[in-house]
Amino acid sequence: MSNVTKPSNFIQQIIAADIDAGRVSTVVTRFPPEPNGYLHIGHAKSICVNFGLAEANGGQCNLRFDDTNPDTESDEFVKAIIQDVKWLGFQWGGEVRFASDYFAQLYAWAGHLVEQGKAFVCELDAETLREYRGTLTAGGKNSPYRDRPANENLVLLEHMKNGEIDEGLMTLRAKIDMQSPNINLRDPVLYRIKKQAHHRTGTQWNIYPSYDFAHGQEDAIEGVTHSVCTLEFAANRPLYNWFIDNLPVPSTPRQYEFGRLNVNYMVTSKRKLRALIEGGWVEGWDDPRMPTLSGMRRRGITAQALRNFCDSLAVAKTDGVVDVSQLEYFVRDDLNVRAQRAMCVLKPLKVILTNFADSETEILSVAGHPSLEHFKTRELPFTRELYIDRDDFSEDTTLSRKKFKRLVLGDYVRLRSAYVIRADHVKRNTAGDITEIRASIVPGTVGEDPPHGIKARGVIHWVSAAHARDCRVLRYDRLFTEPLPEAGVEPFTHHINPQSLEVIDGCKAEPSLGQAQVGEHYQFEREGYYCLDSRANKEGGLIFICTIGLRDTWQKSKT
C-alpha cells in the first residue's frame, strides 16, 4: 500500500507562523456539519483537513453541529454523522458540541450589540428587505427601523424570543453599512423568528441565530484558533471578524478558506443527493452508488482508502474537479492488501473433465493472498464438474495467444491454483448455445508446469459445480453519464446512467465464501473487490456488492 505524504498547504504554513510568533499555543480546529443530511466525500476532505491540521500540530479538533435551523435538521442526521466521523477513525476533542448549546450566550451577545447601538429590530418583510439590500452593483437603503432606540429594540427582541411576534414580521439586524460593496455587511440578519421545534431545544426558542451570527462566536467559545471552511464563505469573513471585534468573546478565532472537493461523475450537494433519493434514482443515503460516507462504506470502500485519497489532495484555493480515477486508485491500493482472495464465477459455463473420476474430490490448499502470508489458506474442492466464466471460453481457434489468454477449443489453459486443462469439444442446446464443455486435465500440473510442448494460454478462475454456493452479485457503474452532470442547462437528473446497477443472479462462489462476513473484503480473482451487502439478511441468500473491478488494461485496449 502506498504511503500517502500529505502535501504541505497554505493553512499549515499560517498555523506554523502563528505558533512561531506566539499568537497561538494550542491549535484548535473544528468540523462543523449541519445535521440536515448525510456526510459525503466532500465532507470527508473537510474532516481530514480539520482533524489532520489539529493532529499535525498537537492540537485538537472539535465536532460541532451547526444546528441553527430547525426547519431541516434532525436527530437522525446527528446520529448518522457521528457514526460516519467515527468510522473514518477520528477522535474529536471533548464531547460532541452543538451550536444549540450556545443559544443563551448568543442571545446575550445579541442584547449586547443592541445596547451598543450596533443592532436593531427590523420590521421589513422579506421581500422589502431584499429590495432595501440593493444589488451587486448598487448600494442599499437604510431600514426605517434602523434608528429605533436601544431600549425599544431590547423589548422587541424579548417579544420575539418569547414567541409574541409572528414569523416573518421581525428580524434582528446588525447595524453595519448598507453601502458596503460586500453585501454580507449590509445590515445582515442576526435572528429570525421560527416557531419550529428544535431537535435538541424543543420549543424553548422562537428565534434562531443566523449562520453568520452563530459560527464565529461558537468558534470563540470553544477556543477554536483556526476556523477552516470552504471558499464560498470567503465573502462572509469580514462579517465573521466584525462580530469577533464587536463582542466580548473569550478568544479571537480566524477563518481560512480552501477549495471544496469536487469529483467528476459525482454530485455532492445535499439538495441533489436528496433529490436522487426522493426521485427514486437510488435506494437511500447508503445506496452504494451514492458519494455519501454511508454509501461508500456499504459499497466496500474502506475508511483508510478514503483518508489516503483525501490526504493525496491539496488544500488550496483553486476550485477544481478531481478525476474519479484518483479515488479508484486509492480504493484498489488499500483493498489489494486487505482483501482475501477467492474465486467466484459470474457467468457460469459448465466444464466436464472427462478424465477425472466422477467419484473423486481433490482438496487443494490455496493461499489467501499471493504475496501476504498472514492471510489464511483456504481449501478448494476440485471435481469432475466445474464452472468457468462464459467469457473465458472461445471456439475461435484463430485467436492469438496474446489476444486471448483464456480457454480456446483444442487448446490449454491453467485453472487458477489447480490443473492445466484442454478443451476438447462443446455441447449445445437446440438453440445452438453452448451448454457444456468437455475437457481433460493434464495430470500432475497442480503447482507444476505442464510437460514440454504443452503451454497454457493463460490462467482462468473456476469453481467446483458440486460445491459452489449460489449467490447474487450487485455491480455498479457510475451514476452519471456526464463527467460534470451539473454543468449543462438541463437538470443533472437528465444525465443519470440508467444502467448504474447490474444485478447478476446465479453466480457460483467457491465454498469458503459461504462464510463471508460483513465488513470483510474479498478479491474475486480476475474480477474485482467484493464485500457482503450489509443490508441483506441471511434469508435472502448470499449477496455480494462489487466495490470496484480490478484494473483492466486489456479491456481498455480492446475498445
The strand pairing partners of 300, in sequence order, are: none
CA–CA gap between residue 208 and residue 195 (Å, rounded): 9
| Cα–Cα separations (whole angstroms), residue 250 to 15, 67, 107, 222, 247 | 20, 21, 16, 9, 9
Name which of 437, 417, 419, 418 is nearest 427 in CA terms. Answer: 437
Grid coordinates standing for 419?
Answer: 490443473
User: Chain-centre distance of CA 38, in angstroms?
Assistant: 10
Residue where the block lists cell 500540530: 57
Closest approach of Cβ 57 to RNA, in Å? Answer: 17
Q: How many beta carbons lie within 10 A of that of residue 475, not counting itself?
A: 19
Contact 462, 386 (CB under 8 A): yes
Q: According to CB under 7 A, which one of 153, 227, 294, 336 is a site residue for RNA? A: 336
Q: According to CB under 7 A, which one of 25, 359, 371, 537 is a site residue for RNA? A: 371
Q: Which is nearer to RNA, 160 or 542 (CB)?
A: 160
Q: Which is nearer to RNA, 6 or 438 (CB)?
A: 6
Residues 265-294 that bind RNA (CB under 7 A): none
Closest approach of Cβ 429 to RNA, in Å? Answer: 26
Q: Which is nearer to RNA, 112 or 369 (CB)?
A: 369
CA–CA gap between residue 227 and residue 209 (Å, rounded): 19
Residue 34 is among the residues annotated as catalytic for this protein: yes
3-state helix/strand/coil string of 372-387: CCCCCCEEEEECCEEE
Closest approach of Cβ 539 to RNA, in Å? Answer: 31
Q: Which is nearer to RNA, 447 or 451 (CB)?
A: 447
Closest approach of Cβ 443 to RNA, in Å? Answer: 13
14 binds RNA (CB under 7 A): no
Residue 539 is among the residues annotated as catalytic for this protein: no
365 binds RNA (CB under 7 A): no
Name the catalytic one among 34, 55, 123, 520.
34
Q: What is the CA radius of gyration of the chain?
A: 31
Q: Which is nearer to RNA, 233 or 356 (CB)?
A: 233
458 binds RNA (CB under 7 A): yes
Grid coordinates standing for 284?
Answer: 437511500
Grid coordinates standing for 263?
Answer: 469529483
Residue 350 is among the residues annotated as catalytic for this protein: no
Grid coordinates standing for 89?
Answer: 477513525
9 binds RNA (CB under 7 A): yes
Closest approach of Cβ 521 to RNA, in Å? Answer: 13
Residue type, 456: A
Residues 114-173 that bind RNA (CB under 7 A): 124-126, 129-130, 133-137, 167-171
Question: Which stretches of 390-432 are assigned E, i.e. beta strand?
Answer: 393-394, 407-408, 412-415, 420-428
Q: How many beta carbons lie within 10 A of that of residue 391, not counting itself?
A: 11
Closest approach of Cβ 431 to RNA, in Å? Answer: 26
CA quadruple 37, 42, 43, 47: dihedral, nearest 10: 170
The strand pairing partners of 149, in sequence order, are: none
Q: Which is nearer to RNA, 60 or 68 (CB)?
A: 68
Residues 66-85 that bind RNA (CB under 7 A): 66, 68-69, 71-72
Q: According to CB under 7 A, which one of 3, 25, 318, 398 is a site residue for RNA? A: 318
CA–CA gap between residue 393 and residue 407 (Å, rounded): 5
304 binds RNA (CB under 7 A): no
Q: Which is nearer to RNA, 92 or 404 (CB)?
A: 404
530 binds RNA (CB under 7 A): no
Name which of 474, 403, 414 is nearest 447 in CA terms. Answer: 414
Name the catalytic one among 161, 175, 237, 270.
270
CA–CA gap between residue 83 and residue 396 (Å, rounded): 53
Q: According to CB under 7 A, which one of 43, 332, 422, 469 is a site residue for RNA? A: 332
Closest approach of Cβ 446 to RNA, in Å? Answer: 5
CA–CA gap between residue 463 and residue 474 (Å, rounded): 19
Residues 218-247 that bind RNA (CB under 7 A): 231-236
Residues 419-448 that bind RNA (CB under 7 A): 445-448
Closest approach of Cβ 548 to RNA, in Å? Answer: 10
* Helix or strand (DSSP H, E) at 335: helix 324-338
Q: Which is nearer to RNA, 105 or 534 (CB)?
A: 105
Residues 399-418 that bind RNA (CB under 7 A): 402-406, 414, 416-418
Closest approach of Cβ 181 to RNA, in Å? Answer: 3
Name which of 416, 439, 303, 322 is nearest 364 in CA terms. Answer: 416
Binding mask 472-511 for RNA (x = CB under 7 A): ----------------------------------------
Name the catalytic one among 6, 118, 146, 260.
260
553 binds RNA (CB under 7 A): yes
3 binds RNA (CB under 7 A): no
326 binds RNA (CB under 7 A): yes
316 binds RNA (CB under 7 A): yes
Name which of 326, 303, 325 is nearest 314 in CA terms. Answer: 326
Residues 180-209 that bind RNA (CB under 7 A): 181-184, 188-189, 192-194, 208
Closest approach of Cβ 550 to RNA, in Å? Answer: 4
512 binds RNA (CB under 7 A): no
CA–CA gap between residue 155 and residue 178 (Å, rounded): 25
Q: Which is nearer to RNA, 11 or 542 (CB)?
A: 11
Grid coordinates standing for 82?
Answer: 457521528
- Residue 403 burial (10 A CB sphere; 0-12, 13-18, 19+): exposed
Q: Which residues are catalytic?
A: 34, 260, 270
